[in-house]
Amino acid sequence: MSDNTIDSNYLQNQAKAELHLHIEGSLEPEMLLNLARRNNVTLKYRDINEIRAAYAFNNLQEFLDIYYQGMSVLITEDDFYDLMFAYLTKAHQDKITHSEIFVDPQAHLSRGISLDVVFAGFKRAMEQAKQEYRLDSYLIPCFLRHLSEDDALRTFDVLMDYRKDFIGIGLDSSELGNPPRKFKNLFDRARKENLKLVAHAGEEGPAEYVWEALDILGVDRVDHGNAITTDKELMVRIAKDGIGLTMCPLSNQCLQVVPDLRNHQALQLMNAGVKVTVNSDDPAYFGGYLNKNYQALIDSLNLSKADLDKLIRNAFDVKFA
Ligand code: ADE
Ligand code: ZN
Protein backbone atom coordinates (compact mmCIF):
# COMPACT_ATOMS: atom_id res chain seq x y z
CA MET A 1 0.00 0.00 0.00
CA SER A 2 1.43 3.41 -0.90
CA ASP A 3 1.86 6.09 1.73
CA ASN A 4 -1.02 8.00 0.25
CA THR A 5 -3.67 5.28 0.40
CA ILE A 6 -6.21 5.72 3.17
CA ASP A 7 -6.90 2.46 4.99
CA SER A 8 -10.53 2.12 6.08
CA ASN A 9 -9.67 2.13 9.81
CA TYR A 10 -7.28 5.04 9.53
CA LEU A 11 -9.90 7.80 9.45
CA GLN A 12 -11.83 6.17 12.29
CA ASN A 13 -8.75 5.88 14.51
CA GLN A 14 -7.46 9.44 14.27
CA ALA A 15 -8.27 11.81 17.16
CA LYS A 16 -10.18 14.76 15.74
CA ALA A 17 -11.51 18.23 16.55
CA GLU A 18 -14.87 19.52 15.35
CA LEU A 19 -15.34 23.29 15.12
CA HIS A 20 -18.65 23.79 13.32
CA LEU A 21 -21.60 21.94 14.77
CA HIS A 22 -24.99 23.48 15.57
CA ILE A 23 -26.27 21.53 18.54
CA GLU A 24 -29.87 22.08 17.43
CA GLY A 25 -28.86 20.56 14.09
CA SER A 26 -27.98 17.31 15.86
CA LEU A 27 -31.63 16.73 16.82
CA GLU A 28 -32.28 13.34 15.22
CA PRO A 29 -35.81 12.49 13.99
CA GLU A 30 -36.18 9.80 16.70
CA MET A 31 -35.40 12.30 19.45
CA LEU A 32 -37.65 14.89 17.81
CA LEU A 33 -40.59 12.46 18.05
CA ASN A 34 -39.70 11.34 21.60
CA LEU A 35 -39.39 14.89 22.92
CA ALA A 36 -42.61 15.94 21.18
CA ARG A 37 -44.38 13.09 22.99
CA ARG A 38 -42.70 13.87 26.33
CA ASN A 39 -43.60 17.57 26.13
CA ASN A 40 -47.01 17.31 24.45
CA VAL A 41 -45.84 19.27 21.43
CA THR A 42 -47.83 18.71 18.24
CA LEU A 43 -45.65 18.20 15.17
CA LYS A 44 -46.81 18.26 11.60
CA TYR A 45 -45.14 14.88 11.05
CA ARG A 46 -46.79 11.59 12.04
CA ASP A 47 -43.70 9.40 11.90
CA ILE A 48 -40.01 9.13 11.07
CA ASN A 49 -40.71 8.56 7.38
CA GLU A 50 -42.60 11.83 7.09
CA ILE A 51 -39.78 13.63 8.86
CA ARG A 52 -37.12 12.16 6.60
CA ALA A 53 -39.20 13.00 3.54
CA ALA A 54 -39.33 16.64 4.66
CA TYR A 55 -35.51 16.79 4.80
CA ALA A 56 -35.04 17.50 1.08
CA PHE A 57 -33.69 21.01 0.71
CA ASN A 58 -33.14 23.23 -2.31
CA ASN A 59 -31.37 25.96 -0.40
CA LEU A 60 -30.37 27.24 3.05
CA GLN A 61 -33.73 28.91 3.79
CA GLU A 62 -35.73 25.74 3.16
CA PHE A 63 -33.51 23.97 5.69
CA LEU A 64 -33.67 26.80 8.25
CA ASP A 65 -37.48 26.83 8.21
CA ILE A 66 -37.54 23.15 9.22
CA TYR A 67 -34.60 23.50 11.64
CA TYR A 68 -36.34 26.26 13.64
CA GLN A 69 -39.60 24.25 13.73
CA GLY A 70 -37.71 21.25 15.09
CA MET A 71 -36.50 23.21 18.10
CA SER A 72 -40.08 23.58 19.38
CA VAL A 73 -39.69 20.25 21.22
CA LEU A 74 -36.73 21.49 23.33
CA ILE A 75 -38.26 22.79 26.55
CA THR A 76 -36.79 21.38 29.77
CA GLU A 77 -33.25 21.14 31.11
CA ASP A 78 -33.39 17.38 30.49
CA ASP A 79 -34.24 18.00 26.82
CA PHE A 80 -31.11 20.12 26.39
CA TYR A 81 -29.07 17.56 28.34
CA ASP A 82 -30.37 14.70 26.17
CA LEU A 83 -29.66 16.60 22.96
CA MET A 84 -26.11 17.47 23.98
CA PHE A 85 -25.23 14.07 25.39
CA ALA A 86 -26.51 12.33 22.26
CA TYR A 87 -24.25 14.53 20.10
CA LEU A 88 -21.23 14.07 22.37
CA THR A 89 -21.74 10.29 22.28
CA LYS A 90 -21.78 10.36 18.46
CA ALA A 91 -18.73 12.62 18.52
CA HIS A 92 -16.89 10.18 20.78
CA GLN A 93 -17.74 7.34 18.39
CA ASP A 94 -16.07 9.38 15.62
CA LYS A 95 -13.02 9.84 17.91
CA ILE A 96 -13.58 13.55 18.42
CA THR A 97 -11.60 14.74 21.44
CA HIS A 98 -12.37 18.45 21.11
CA SER A 99 -15.60 20.08 19.97
CA GLU A 100 -16.61 23.73 19.75
CA ILE A 101 -20.39 23.77 19.62
CA PHE A 102 -22.78 26.42 18.29
CA VAL A 103 -26.07 27.19 20.02
CA ASP A 104 -28.76 29.66 18.87
CA PRO A 105 -29.91 31.47 22.07
CA GLN A 106 -32.39 33.75 20.27
CA ALA A 107 -34.23 30.71 18.91
CA HIS A 108 -34.86 29.57 22.51
CA LEU A 109 -35.42 32.94 24.22
CA SER A 110 -38.03 33.83 21.59
CA ARG A 111 -40.00 30.70 22.63
CA GLY A 112 -39.87 31.69 26.30
CA ILE A 113 -37.09 29.23 27.24
CA SER A 114 -34.67 30.68 29.81
CA LEU A 115 -30.94 30.45 29.18
CA ASP A 116 -30.68 28.98 32.72
CA VAL A 117 -32.45 25.90 31.37
CA VAL A 118 -30.41 25.76 28.16
CA PHE A 119 -26.98 26.16 29.76
CA ALA A 120 -27.74 23.91 32.75
CA GLY A 121 -28.72 21.01 30.48
CA PHE A 122 -25.77 21.51 28.15
CA LYS A 123 -23.22 21.88 30.93
CA ARG A 124 -24.34 18.69 32.67
CA ALA A 125 -23.89 16.72 29.43
CA MET A 126 -20.55 18.36 28.64
CA GLU A 127 -19.16 17.60 32.10
CA GLN A 128 -20.30 13.99 31.82
CA ALA A 129 -18.63 13.64 28.39
CA LYS A 130 -15.42 15.08 29.79
CA GLN A 131 -15.45 12.41 32.54
CA GLU A 132 -16.70 9.43 30.53
CA TYR A 133 -15.20 10.12 27.09
CA ARG A 134 -12.27 12.49 27.80
CA LEU A 135 -13.96 14.79 25.27
CA ASP A 136 -13.43 18.54 25.75
CA SER A 137 -16.35 20.66 24.57
CA TYR A 138 -17.03 24.39 24.51
CA LEU A 139 -20.03 26.53 23.59
CA ILE A 140 -20.20 29.36 21.04
CA PRO A 141 -23.57 31.18 21.01
CA CYS A 142 -24.51 32.36 17.51
CA PHE A 143 -26.64 35.35 16.63
CA LEU A 144 -29.40 35.02 14.05
CA ARG A 145 -28.54 37.36 11.21
CA HIS A 146 -32.13 37.55 9.89
CA LEU A 147 -33.01 39.42 13.12
CA SER A 148 -31.94 42.99 13.90
CA GLU A 149 -28.67 44.05 15.46
CA ASP A 150 -30.70 45.56 18.32
CA ASP A 151 -32.15 42.14 19.06
CA ALA A 152 -28.63 40.70 18.98
CA LEU A 153 -27.34 43.39 21.37
CA ARG A 154 -30.19 42.77 23.83
CA THR A 155 -29.48 39.04 23.68
CA PHE A 156 -25.79 39.72 24.18
CA ASP A 157 -26.64 41.50 27.46
CA VAL A 158 -28.59 38.45 28.64
CA LEU A 159 -25.74 36.16 27.60
CA MET A 160 -23.20 38.11 29.62
CA ASP A 161 -24.77 36.59 32.78
CA TYR A 162 -23.33 33.30 31.47
CA ARG A 163 -19.98 34.68 30.31
CA LYS A 164 -17.94 31.86 31.86
CA ASP A 165 -19.98 29.25 29.97
CA PHE A 166 -18.85 30.14 26.44
CA ILE A 167 -15.68 31.01 24.55
CA GLY A 168 -16.83 33.16 21.64
CA ILE A 169 -19.73 34.29 19.50
CA GLY A 170 -20.82 33.41 15.99
CA LEU A 171 -23.23 34.62 13.31
CA ASP A 172 -25.56 32.25 11.48
CA SER A 173 -28.99 31.83 9.80
CA SER A 174 -30.13 33.37 6.48
CA GLU A 175 -27.04 34.80 4.82
CA LEU A 176 -28.29 36.49 1.62
CA GLY A 177 -29.47 40.03 2.36
CA ASN A 178 -27.95 39.94 5.87
CA PRO A 179 -24.31 40.93 5.37
CA PRO A 180 -21.79 40.84 8.22
CA ARG A 181 -21.62 44.66 8.37
CA LYS A 182 -25.12 44.63 9.89
CA PHE A 183 -23.52 43.32 13.12
CA LYS A 184 -20.47 45.57 13.50
CA ASN A 185 -21.51 46.97 16.90
CA LEU A 186 -22.24 43.51 18.27
CA PHE A 187 -18.83 42.18 17.28
CA ASP A 188 -17.11 45.32 18.65
CA ARG A 189 -18.77 44.64 22.01
CA ALA A 190 -17.85 40.98 21.98
CA ARG A 191 -14.22 41.81 21.19
CA LYS A 192 -14.11 44.07 24.28
CA GLU A 193 -15.22 41.05 26.33
CA ASN A 194 -12.26 39.05 24.97
CA LEU A 195 -14.55 36.66 23.16
CA LYS A 196 -13.39 34.77 20.08
CA LEU A 197 -15.23 35.82 16.92
CA VAL A 198 -16.52 33.71 14.06
CA ALA A 199 -19.18 34.15 11.37
CA HIS A 200 -20.83 32.11 8.65
CA ALA A 201 -19.79 33.82 5.42
CA GLY A 202 -19.56 32.82 1.78
CA GLU A 203 -21.89 29.82 2.20
CA GLU A 204 -24.66 31.17 -0.08
CA GLY A 205 -23.36 34.74 0.09
CA PRO A 206 -20.62 36.26 -2.08
CA ALA A 207 -16.90 36.71 -1.40
CA GLU A 208 -17.74 40.30 -0.43
CA TYR A 209 -19.40 38.97 2.75
CA VAL A 210 -16.18 37.17 3.68
CA TRP A 211 -14.22 40.42 3.27
CA GLU A 212 -16.75 42.09 5.59
CA ALA A 213 -16.47 39.32 8.16
CA LEU A 214 -12.70 39.84 8.20
CA ASP A 215 -12.42 43.61 7.87
CA ILE A 216 -15.57 44.87 9.62
CA LEU A 217 -16.28 42.15 12.19
CA GLY A 218 -12.65 41.12 12.70
CA VAL A 219 -13.42 37.41 12.87
CA ASP A 220 -10.77 34.88 13.92
CA ARG A 221 -12.35 32.11 11.83
CA VAL A 222 -14.82 31.84 8.95
CA ASP A 223 -17.62 29.24 8.76
CA HIS A 224 -18.03 27.68 5.29
CA GLY A 225 -16.31 30.27 3.04
CA ASN A 226 -17.04 28.36 -0.19
CA ALA A 227 -17.21 31.63 -2.14
CA ILE A 228 -13.58 32.48 -1.31
CA THR A 229 -12.33 30.67 -4.41
CA THR A 230 -14.10 33.26 -6.60
CA ASP A 231 -11.68 35.95 -5.36
CA LYS A 232 -7.92 35.33 -5.72
CA GLU A 233 -6.97 38.26 -3.51
CA LEU A 234 -9.26 37.02 -0.74
CA MET A 235 -7.79 33.54 -0.98
CA VAL A 236 -4.29 34.98 -0.53
CA ARG A 237 -5.44 37.12 2.40
CA ILE A 238 -7.10 34.21 4.24
CA ALA A 239 -4.04 32.03 3.73
CA LYS A 240 -1.58 34.73 4.78
CA ASP A 241 -3.48 35.54 7.98
CA GLY A 242 -3.88 31.87 8.92
CA ILE A 243 -7.67 32.25 9.19
CA GLY A 244 -9.31 28.87 9.74
CA LEU A 245 -12.19 27.80 7.49
CA THR A 246 -14.75 25.42 8.94
CA MET A 247 -16.10 23.68 5.85
CA CYS A 248 -19.04 21.24 5.89
CA PRO A 249 -19.21 19.04 2.78
CA LEU A 250 -22.45 17.12 3.40
CA SER A 251 -24.21 20.36 4.38
CA ASN A 252 -22.98 21.99 1.17
CA GLN A 253 -24.28 19.07 -0.85
CA CYS A 254 -27.71 18.94 0.86
CA LEU A 255 -28.25 22.71 0.63
CA GLN A 256 -27.17 22.79 -3.02
CA VAL A 257 -24.21 25.06 -2.23
CA VAL A 258 -22.02 22.42 -3.93
CA PRO A 259 -24.46 19.88 -5.41
CA ASP A 260 -21.65 17.68 -6.71
CA LEU A 261 -18.89 17.24 -4.13
CA ARG A 262 -16.36 16.62 -6.89
CA ASN A 263 -16.54 20.41 -7.25
CA HIS A 264 -15.99 21.13 -3.55
CA GLN A 265 -13.58 23.99 -2.85
CA ALA A 266 -11.78 22.35 0.10
CA LEU A 267 -8.75 20.98 -1.76
CA GLN A 268 -8.22 24.07 -3.91
CA LEU A 269 -8.24 26.23 -0.78
CA MET A 270 -5.97 23.88 1.12
CA ASN A 271 -3.52 23.83 -1.78
CA ALA A 272 -3.53 27.64 -1.69
CA GLY A 273 -2.36 27.45 1.93
CA VAL A 274 -5.72 28.03 3.65
CA LYS A 275 -6.31 26.26 6.99
CA VAL A 276 -9.33 24.24 5.88
CA THR A 277 -11.14 22.05 8.42
CA VAL A 278 -13.94 19.49 8.00
CA ASN A 279 -17.10 19.60 10.10
CA SER A 280 -20.68 18.31 10.18
CA ASP A 281 -22.78 21.53 10.61
CA ASP A 282 -26.26 19.97 11.21
CA PRO A 283 -25.63 16.22 11.02
CA ALA A 284 -29.18 15.09 11.84
CA TYR A 285 -30.41 16.95 8.76
CA PHE A 286 -27.54 16.41 6.32
CA GLY A 287 -26.95 12.68 6.54
CA GLY A 288 -23.85 12.28 8.63
CA TYR A 289 -21.56 13.10 11.51
CA LEU A 290 -17.92 14.09 11.25
CA ASN A 291 -16.32 10.94 9.87
CA LYS A 292 -18.95 10.73 7.13
CA ASN A 293 -18.06 14.27 6.12
CA TYR A 294 -14.37 13.36 5.92
CA GLN A 295 -15.20 10.20 3.96
CA ALA A 296 -17.38 12.12 1.48
CA LEU A 297 -14.50 14.51 0.75
CA ILE A 298 -11.93 11.72 0.53
CA ASP A 299 -14.10 9.91 -2.01
CA SER A 300 -15.15 12.87 -4.12
CA LEU A 301 -11.83 14.76 -4.21
CA ASN A 302 -9.67 11.66 -4.13
CA LEU A 303 -7.77 12.99 -1.13
CA SER A 304 -4.41 11.54 -0.18
CA LYS A 305 -3.48 10.44 3.32
CA ALA A 306 -1.32 13.56 3.55
CA ASP A 307 -4.36 15.70 2.68
CA LEU A 308 -6.42 13.96 5.34
CA ASP A 309 -3.69 14.34 7.96
CA LYS A 310 -3.50 18.04 7.16
CA LEU A 311 -7.26 18.57 7.43
CA ILE A 312 -7.30 16.82 10.80
CA ARG A 313 -4.30 18.78 12.06
CA ASN A 314 -5.72 22.10 10.84
CA ALA A 315 -8.70 21.73 13.16
CA PHE A 316 -6.41 21.47 16.20
CA ASP A 317 -4.36 24.42 14.88
CA VAL A 318 -7.34 26.80 14.57
CA LYS A 319 -9.44 25.73 17.56
CA PHE A 320 -10.30 28.55 19.96
CA ALA A 321 -10.16 26.79 23.33
N1 ADE B 1 -27.79 27.43 11.20
C2 ADE B 1 -27.65 26.10 11.28
N3 ADE B 1 -27.01 25.64 10.20
C4 ADE B 1 -26.71 26.71 9.44
C5 ADE B 1 -26.03 26.89 8.21
N6 ADE B 1 -25.52 25.86 7.51
N7 ADE B 1 -25.93 28.14 7.70
C8 ADE B 1 -26.45 29.16 8.36
N9 ADE B 1 -27.08 29.05 9.53
C10 ADE B 1 -27.21 27.83 10.06
ZN1 ZN C 1 -23.34 26.25 10.22
Residue 48 lies in a domain: yes
Q: Is the CB of 251 under 6 A from ligand 1?
A: yes
The neighbourhood of ligand 2, an ion, using CB within 5 A, equals 281
Q: Is the CB of 100 under 6 A from ligand 1?
A: no
Q: What is the pLDDT of residue 3?
A: 58
Q: What is the pLDDT of residue 1?
A: 44
Site to probe by mutation for ligand 1, drawn from 142, 281, 286, 293 as the one with most ligand atoms within 8 Å of Cβ, is 281
pLDDT score of 145 more than 70: yes
Q: What is the pLDDT of residues 33-52, one digit of tens each?
A: 999 999 999 999 999 999 99
Distance 122 CA to ligand 1 centre (A): 20
Q: Is the CB of 281 under 6 A from ligand 1?
A: yes
Residue 282 lies in a domain: yes
Average pLDDT along the chain: 97
Residue 291 lies in a domain: yes
Q: What is the pLDDT of residue 173?
A: 98
> Domain range holding 210?
16-318
Domain count, the chain: 1
Q: What is the pLDDT of residues 165-214, one digit of tens each?
A: 999 999 999 999 999 999 999 999 999 999 999 999 999 999 999 999 99
pTM of the model: 0.98
Ligand 1 atom closest to the Cα of residue 203 is: 7
Distance 176 CA to ligand 1 centre (A): 12
Percentage, residues of the chain above pLDDT 90: 98
- Give the residue numbers marked as catalytic: 203
Q: Is the CB of 254 under 6 A from ligand 1?
A: no
Q: What is the pLDDT of residues 84-135, one digit of tens each?
A: 999 999 999 999 999 999 999 999 999 999 999 999 999 999 999 999 999 9
Number of residues that make up the chain: 321
Residue 166 lies in a domain: yes
Site to probe by mutation for ligand 1, drawn from 24, 62, 63 as the one with most ligand atoms within 8 Å of Cβ, is 63
pLDDT score of 255 more than 80: yes
Site to probe by mutation for ligand 1, drawn from 200, 246, 253 as the one with most ligand atoms within 8 Å of Cβ, is 200
pLDDT band at 11 (very low <50, low <70, confident <90, very high): very high
Residue 296 lies in a domain: yes
Mean pLDDT, to the nearest integer, of 270-279? 98
Mean pLDDT, to the nearest integer, of 228-244? 98
CATH number of the CATH domain containing 100: 3.20.20.140
Residue 3 lies in a domain: no
Residue 173 lies in a domain: yes
Distance 281 CA to ligand 2 centre (A): 5
Residue 8 lies in a domain: no
